[in-house]
Structures are given as C-alpha cells and as structure tokens.
A and B are shown apart, each in its own frame.
Chain A
Amino acid sequence: MTSQTKAELDAFRDEVAAFLDTAPTDAIREAGRKTTSAFPPFEQAVAWQVILNEKGWAAPDWPEEYGGTGWSGAQRTIFEEEYRKRDLPPLLPNSLKMVGPLLIDLGTEEQKAKYLPRILSGEDYWTQGYSEPNSGSDLASLKCSAVADGEDYIINGSKIWTTFAHKSNRMFMLVRTSAEGKKQQGITFLLLDRTDFPGMDIRPIRGLDGNAEFCEVFFDNVRVPQSGRVGAENEGWSVAKHLLKHERNGSSNSPVLVRYLQRITESAREEMSPFGGRLSDDPVFQRDLGALHADVTTLAHFERLIMGGHEMANDPALPSVAKTMTTELTQRVSLMMTRIAGLEGLSLQLDALTVGSGVDPMGSELDLIAMPFYLNSRATTIYAGTNEIQRDLIARSLQVA
C-alpha cells in the first residue's frame, strides 16, 4: 500500500509525537480540549498554525512547491492520529482547506504570490461569503450585487452565516454581476483584501451554544478592486464548484471521533450507573458504545482507502457520501456525550469554556463540552450543503438516463 517501510513510519511517528508533545503552548492545548465545533477557538488556533508553519507542517495536503509536506497517505494518517491523541485544536479550515487550494489551482501567479504565504503563516484569515438570507441551498439565486465602475466593483447586499467574519481580515465571496441568462451564469468570485472597507458592516449572531461564531455582513456601496476576481466575470459558479470539492473532501474526520469515544469511555469509568456499579459496566452503555465504535471504525477504514488513492475515491458521489456519513456520525457521538454528562450538561458555562478565563468547570471537562458540542454539531448537517441536498446529489449519481 505504501512505499515506506514499517521502520520508517515508526520513526516518523516518533518525530511527530516528539514535536506535538513539546511545541503547543498550554493555551493551545486548552483550546484543543475545549473545542466544541469544526471551528476551534480562533486566537489559539492561529497561534498554533504559526508554530506548525515554522515547522513546515501547517498544510500537509498542499502540493510541496507551495508549502505542503509531501507526506504519503500513511504519514498523514499517523500525523492525524498523534494530533488527536493530544486533543490539539484543528486548524481553521477556510484559508488552508478552501481558498488556499483554490488559488493553487485557479489563481493568477500574482494572487498566489500575494496570498499563499500569508495563508500558511496564519497572518490572514479568510471568511467565506456565499450564503445570503434568501439564498442558502439555492445558492445560485444569490443577489448581492457587484457593478463594475472603472477598475473597481461596487458591492451592495448582504451575506449571512459568515463564520468568523468578525475575526477575519479577508473575505472570498460570490457576487451577482449579471442578471442575464441562467442564475448560475451571472455570478463572479471575488477576493476582498479587507473586511473593514467603508460601507461594510459585520453583525455577529449568537448560536444555540451561546457563542457568536457566525455573522451577518452588510454591504452598502462597498468599492473593491476588480483585480480580486478569480476566473472571469460571470464565471464564478464554476470557481465555486471547484472550491466545493476541497470543502467537502475534507480530510480525515475519524481520528477526532475516535478520541471523543475514548473521552466518553474514560468518563463512563468514573461515573456511577443508576442501575448500580459504574456506567462503564452497564450493558446498555456498552452496547451503544460498541455500535458507535463500529461506525467510527468503518469511517476510519473508508478514509484510509480514500487517502490511499483507492478507486472508490473517483466516484462522483463520494464527497456527498463522506459528508453525510461524517456529519451524522459526529452528531451521534455528540449525543452520546450529552448522555454521559446527563444533568451536568445543562449548566451554561461560557466562562469556563473560554480559553484562558481561569474559570474551572463545575463538573468534568467532558461535562463542560458535551452540550455545546451537541448543539453546535446540529450545524454539521446544515452547512457545506445540507444533508438533504447531499442525498439528492448521491441519488442523482445513481439514476440512469
């Protein structure tokens, strides 16, 4: 399956382990343990990216010439496993997994030179401005408009659910540049060098877990240079579709779920069962844990096949299959976590969840993250294309003409 010997891979694992044991600061580790979303605590995730980038490990899956590591699938899996074992925070996805790979594929040389190094270094953070209040699943109906004016575009309209817009300094967005023809035809893909252009206004929105992770962004005659366009005018839809491949392909999600199951099991060993003994002795818990473990293991097997370049990876429905499988399993794991936390999951502990607050959780750390994680993970079946839309795509791939 791989060209590396077991000894080489073992040595690699040792190197990764040694680095991950020493490089992250305490705040970064705390952020990792308190991550309750696909989006980790912002400041610590950026700090961690800076450290990883100095080591050359910020973007393992990028091509080597742009700063990738050139690791084999087996090495990447090892890295993920060692990473998760230590509860380190994931890196913020938008720049490294979305706009970066997109620019590598479709950006001009100038755009690559300008943006890629700052994406790797963590200096820039990109927010994704696609969705609008009336255009979610039907994204192509978007209305936020850009009208050419000399060297610039003038943008009017709004975007919503823009994750971390209030923390970002750049935005990639879709705008309407033409109302002619099919709705997909008049869309343009733009890079915005700032998120504080005159006329731009960002309103954070509180989520179910009590945190403001996403925002609404208003544009009132915002003037931006046309040089920020990726691809041709009115051809932004195909650019966006290209990017979507990167977004949905994701990477390996099973290691984090494996780790969550371990944390669940550790807690169950501490906890009394209302039926006597420890919760970990309870046959019902054991059965449910077993069923979850089976599904997480299945996901891990699947991900290894894909990473190893199995032909299954060429299936056009694969991104949708992976997205559906992963998100629904994540929700089940999060539900199991709330079951373990029980009543202790009901207290709202935003202070204790804030990295560096110095406020101790009232129960265990698992009790602290269980409910925010469960509530936040309801979003996984909504964002990046709802699971209803994914199932449509999967079904479409099976229909014969």
Chain B
Amino acid sequence: MDISQTDEQKMLQDSVTRLLERSYDFEARQKLLASGQPWSPDTWQSLAEMGILGLPISEESGGFGGSMADIVSIAEPFGAHLLIEPFVSSILLGGQCLAHGEGPAAEAQLARILTGEQTAAFAHEEGRGTADPALVSLAASESDGGFTLNGEKRMVLGGAQADVLVVSARARGAAPAKDGLSVFMVDPDQKGVRIKPFVTIDGRHAAHITFDGVRIPAARRIVAEGYDVLEQVISKAIIALCAEAVGAMGALLRLTGEYASTRKQFGTPIAAFQTISHRLADMKIAYVKARSNLLYTTALKDAGHASPLDVSVLKGQIGTLGRQIGEAAIQTHGGVGMTDEISIGHFHKRILAINALFGDSEYHFRAVGQSLASS
C-alpha cells in the first residue's frame, strides 16, 4: 500500500496552495462572504482550468480519474483556506452521482458540471444527520412511465444555486432498508419543488427543499438500485471533508502557536505558561492523530480496502479531535478568539459543520462499536 505523497500530488497541492494564497486569503474570503455571493465564480473557473473539478471523476465519465490521495492533497489546502466553493456539493456528491448514473442525460449534465459552467447539488439529508442511506425515506412512487417525488430534503448544500438536483429517494419499501433506493436528476425549476435558501455557520449557501408531487420521467432516474452508489459516493466525500477538516486543524495549530508566542500577559508570552504550552502540545498530538487517520484511511481507500468501519473511525475521530483543537484555539486566544473578525472561529465552525454532516462523531463511534460487538 502506498502511503507517501507522489511528486504529482505534491505539485498539485502546491499549485492549489499558491492559487489560494494569491487570491483567497482570509480578508478576501470574508469580503466574498459579505458580498452575498454563494462563492467566487473566478475561483471556481480557476479550479476548473486547473483540472481540479474533473479530478475525482473517472476518465470514462469525462474526468481525470484522480485517486483518493489526489483529492485529499487538494482538500487539505481547501480546508486551510476555508474555501466556500462547491467542490464537495457539486463535484464529489452531485457530480459523482451523475458519473455513476446511466443514460445520456446524466452524461451531458456531468460535462456541464465539470467545465464549471453549471453546478449540481446533492439532495440527500432528511433529518438531523442522515448518516446511513438506508434511512432515506423521501418517496418516489412509480406510475405512468415515470415517478412522483414527495417529501423533504434538508441542508442541501448549494441547493438554491444548483442547475440540477441529484435526489436520493425511496422507490420501494420503507426506511430503514438498503433495497429500493433510487437516484434522480431533478430540475430545480420544476413544478412542486420548493426551495428555502439560507446560509450556514461556515459561510455556505444551502437550502431545505420540499418535493410536492414532482413528476420525473423514467429517463431521469439515473440509478435504479442506489444504495451501493450512494455509499461509495458518500464515503469518498466523507474522506474529502475530513481532509478539509484536517487542513483547518493544521491552520488552527499554526495560528495558535504563533499567537501564544507573541501575545504577552504578565510580561511574558503566554506560551511560557505551562498550561498554555501543554494545551498547544495536546493540540499537536490531536492533529497528528487526525492526520494519521486521514492519510492511512486514504491509502486504504485507494487500495480498495477501506471498509465502512474504517470510514466511520475516521469520521468519528476527525469530529472529536477537530472540536478539541478548535475549542483549545479559541480558549488560547482569549477575548479575540470569540470574535468573527479573525479566522480562528471560522475554522472551528467549519470543523463543527463537517462533524455534523453525514453522521457526527457520536453516530460513527456507536456504529463502530455496534459493528464490533455484533461481529
């Protein structure tokens, strides 16, 4: 199993980092957020031109067939710069589903996504964290050569901006069940689709979306039996999200170390107080644990050996270790750590959001324990 970064990955990571250092420092990002734009079209276009939008998509689907390790190499700097562009929602989730989809409609749609001219959103979550696709219950009832969608999706990232909604729905049976799940392509302008847009604590645009008798022609069901596809797509997205979180943790560690070395109270840098220096050490230990988990799980994934259990271990650890690092960073900054004016809190909020997506650490730890106990 290959666990070292290749030269190509290093180059990719460096070029993404250079792009973001040039055009996406914290001030620029805050200005972008304040402008009300959901993301920067310029940055999105630059990423498309660098081939990054096609990176996670297989070559036969028109992408570059990048490995998990390739994706992780770029997702870490995305996290370290708090990128709000829809890489996860439009590419890793929406785009990947389209790539697994059947039929010319999915193929044509994906092509428009990969050039960056359009975006997709993944309408999947239904409650306070639909960790397992088997829990999906939005109904797709089959009749007259098509389907009718009824139900609600929550926290659809980029949902109000998307040109196409990729919707997971239950065509047969009742949740929880792995069988009977399908994936549909839905036009957001279609009758019966109601979109309630909002902004998230980590600066993303998202929406709750209601489907009220939405008619879908059979040709727009892109995956008929979808559990495995959804599971694959989501586990890849989880690893990429974890890489973003690790990027954010690295930034928090660096910034907090710098702050503690320069902030003086009682005539000395606060890093000289043992309670502060030991907390910094704990942050470092947490970071090393998180990153080890990330990189090794990534290698397992590329070798085809990452089980759902491995992914749950990663997701659970990242959520817990990330929160620990974020809280420690805020506490070490004192009053200024409580403001929205510096990046510290924004990194923490990104980590909290990642923890809540696709099952929080509590969910994943229990899932791991349950699986161990019953095997």
A: residues with CB less than 8 A from B are 131, 134-138, 141, 160-161, 205-208, 210, 214, 271-272, 274-276, 284, 338-349, 362, 367, 371, 375, 378-379, 381-383, 386-388, 391
B349 with A208: CB separation less than 8 A: yes
Q: Which of B199-221 contact A (CB under 8 A)?
A: 199-202, 206, 208
B266 with A388: CB separation less than 8 A: no
A388 with B275: CB separation less than 8 A: yes
By a CB distance below 8 angstroms, the chain B residues around A161 are 335
* Complex alpha-carbon distance, A298 and B23, angstroms: 52
17 contacts between A and B (CB under 8 A): A138-B266, A138-B267, A141-B265, A206-B341, A272-B127, A274-B135, A338-B356, A341-B128, A343-B125, A343-B129, A343-B155, A343-B356, A344-B154, A345-B201, A345-B356, A375-B349, A379-B338
B127 with A343: CB separation less than 8 A: yes
Cβ proximity bits B262-274 to A, threshold 8 Å, 1 near / 0 not:
0011110000010
Q: How many residues on chain B are close to A (CB under 8 Å)?
A: 49
Which residue of A136, A284, A344 is within 8 Å of B335 (Cβ)?
A136
A339 with B155: CB separation less than 8 A: no
B128 with A271: CB separation less than 8 A: yes
Taking the complex as formed, is B337 at the interface, i.e. its CB lies under 8 A from any CB of chain A? yes
By a CB distance below 8 angstroms, the chain B residues around A160 are 335
Q: Among the listed stretches B74-82, B102-110, B248-256, B360-368, which one makes contact with chain A, having 4 or more residues with CB under 8 Å of it?
A: B360-368
For chain A, what secondary structure do more than half of its interface residues adopt (helix, strand, loop), or is it mixed?
Answer: mixed
B338 with A274: CB separation less than 8 A: no
A284 with B362: CB separation less than 8 A: yes
A131 with B335: CB separation less than 8 A: yes
Taking the complex as formed, is B15 at the interface, i.e. its CB lies under 8 A from any CB of chain A? no
Q: A208 to nearest B CB, angstroms? A: 4
B335 with A339: CB separation less than 8 A: no
A346 with B327: CB separation less than 8 A: no
Q: B193 to nearest A CB, angstroms? A: 17
Taking the complex as formed, is B233 at the interface, i.e. its CB lies under 8 A from any CB of chain A? no
* Complex alpha-carbon distance, A342 and B358, angstroms: 10
A338 with B338: CB separation less than 8 A: no
With both beta carbons as reference points, the residue of chain B lying nearest to A345 in the complex is identified as B356
Known: A207-B339, A208-B339. A346 touches B356 (CB 8 A): yes
A386 with B334: CB separation less than 8 A: yes
A347 with B206: CB separation less than 8 A: yes
Known: A341-B128, A347-B199, A382-B335. A208 touches B345 (CB 8 A): yes
Taking the complex as formed, is B331 at the interface, i.e. its CB lies under 8 A from any CB of chain A? yes
Which residue of A347, A375, A382 is within 8 Å of B331 (Cβ)?
A382
Taking the complex as formed, is B191 at the interface, i.e. its CB lies under 8 A from any CB of chain A? no
Taking the complex as formed, is B48 at the interface, i.e. its CB lies under 8 A from any CB of chain A? no
* Complex alpha-carbon distance, A386 and B154, angstroms: 38
* Complex alpha-carbon distance, A379 and B331, angstroms: 8
A378 with B155: CB separation less than 8 A: no
By a CB distance below 8 angstroms, the chain A residues around B331 are 378, 381-382, 386-387
Q: A374 to nearest B CB, angstroms? A: 8
By a CB distance below 8 angstroms, the chain B residues around A206 are 339-341
A342 with B128: CB separation less than 8 A: yes
By a CB distance below 8 angstroms, the chain A residues around B267 are 138
B352 with A338: CB separation less than 8 A: yes
With both beta carbons as reference points, the residue of chain B lying nearest to A275 in the complex is identified as B366
By a CB distance below 8 angstroms, the chain B residues around A342 are 127-129, 356, 360
Which residue of A136, A338, A375 is within 8 Å of B334 (Cβ)?
A136
Q: B234 to nearest A CB, angstroms? A: 14
B366 with A284: CB separation less than 8 A: yes
Taking the complex as formed, is B276 at the interface, i.e. its CB lies under 8 A from any CB of chain A? yes
* Complex alpha-carbon distance, A143 and B275, angstroms: 26
Cβ proximity bits B343-371 to A, threshold 8 Å, 1 near / 0 not:
00100110011001101101100100010
* Complex alpha-carbon distance, A387 and B275, angstroms: 11
With both beta carbons as reference points, the residue of chain B lying nearest to A206 in the complex is identified as B340
A-B contact count (CB 8 A): 121
By a CB distance below 8 angstroms, the chain B residues around A339 are 360, 362
A362 with B341: CB separation less than 8 A: no
Q: B212 to nearest A CB, angstroms? A: 17
By a CB distance below 8 angstroms, the chain B residues around A284 are 362, 366
* Complex alpha-carbon distance, A247 and B55, angstroms: 57
Taking the complex as formed, is B198 at the interface, i.e. its CB lies under 8 A from any CB of chain A? yes
Q: B77 to nearest A CB, angstroms? A: 23
Taking the complex as formed, is B32 at the interface, i.e. its CB lies under 8 A from any CB of chain A? no
By a CB distance below 8 angstroms, the chain A residues around B341 are 205-206
With both beta carbons as reference points, the residue of chain B lying nearest to A285 in the complex is identified as B362
A137 with B339: CB separation less than 8 A: no
Known: A274-B131, A343-B357. A208 touches B338 (CB 8 A): yes
Q: A328 to nearest B CB, angstroms? A: 11
By a CB distance below 8 angstroms, the chain A residues around B65 are none
* Complex alpha-carbon distance, A338 and B264, angstroms: 34
By a CB distance below 8 angstroms, the chain B residues around A274 are 129-132, 135, 359, 363
Beyond A206-B341, A274-B363, A371-B352, 17 extra complex contacts between A and B, CB < 8 Å: A137-B265, A137-B266, A137-B334, A207-B338, A208-B339, A342-B127, A342-B356, A343-B127, A343-B356, A343-B357, A346-B352, A348-B198, A362-B196, A378-B331, A378-B337, A382-B331, A388-B275
A347 with B200: CB separation less than 8 A: yes
Which residue of B131, B201, B208, B339 is within 8 Å of A362 (Cβ)?
B208
Which residue of B200, B275, B360 is within 8 Å of A391 (Cβ)?
B275
Which residue of B199, B348, B362 is within 8 Å of A348 (Cβ)?
B199
Top-8 shortest CB links A-B = A342-B128, A138-B265, A208-B345, A206-B340, A342-B129, A161-B335, A138-B266, A346-B200
By a CB distance below 8 angstroms, the chain A residues around B201 are 345-348, 371, 375
With both beta carbons as reference points, the residue of chain B lying nearest to A211 in the complex is identified as B340
Taking the complex as formed, is B330 at the interface, i.e. its CB lies under 8 A from any CB of chain A? yes
A210 with B357: CB separation less than 8 A: no
Cβ proximity bits B115-151 to A, threshold 8 Å, 1 near / 0 not:
0000000000101111110010000000000000000
Q: B157 to nearest A CB, angstroms? A: 10
Q: B344 to nearest A CB, angstroms? A: 9
* Complex alpha-carbon distance, A206 and B198, angstroms: 20
With both beta carbons as reference points, the residue of chain B lying nearest to A342 in the complex is identified as B128
Taking the complex as formed, is B173 at the interface, i.e. its CB lies under 8 A from any CB of chain A? no
Q: B279 to nearest A CB, angstroms? A: 9
Taking the complex as formed, is B62 at the interface, i.e. its CB lies under 8 A from any CB of chain A? no
* Complex alpha-carbon distance, A114 and B241, angstroms: 59
In this complex, the member of B202, B264, B349, B359 whose beta carbon has the largest number of chain A beta carbons within 10 angstroms is: B349
Q: B256 to nearest A CB, angstroms? A: 14
A343 with B154: CB separation less than 8 A: yes
Taking the complex as formed, is B176 at the interface, i.e. its CB lies under 8 A from any CB of chain A? yes
Q: A384 to nearest B CB, angstroms? A: 12
Cβ proximity bits B156-176 to A, threshold 8 Å, 1 near / 0 not:
000000000000000000001
By a CB distance below 8 angstroms, the chain B residues around A387 are 331
By a CB distance below 8 angstroms, the chain B residues around A379 are 338
By a CB distance below 8 angstroms, the chain B residues around A341 are 128
With both beta carbons as reference points, the residue of chain A lying nearest to B332 in the complex is identified as A388
Which residue of B265, B338, B366 is within 8 Å of A378 (Cβ)?
B338
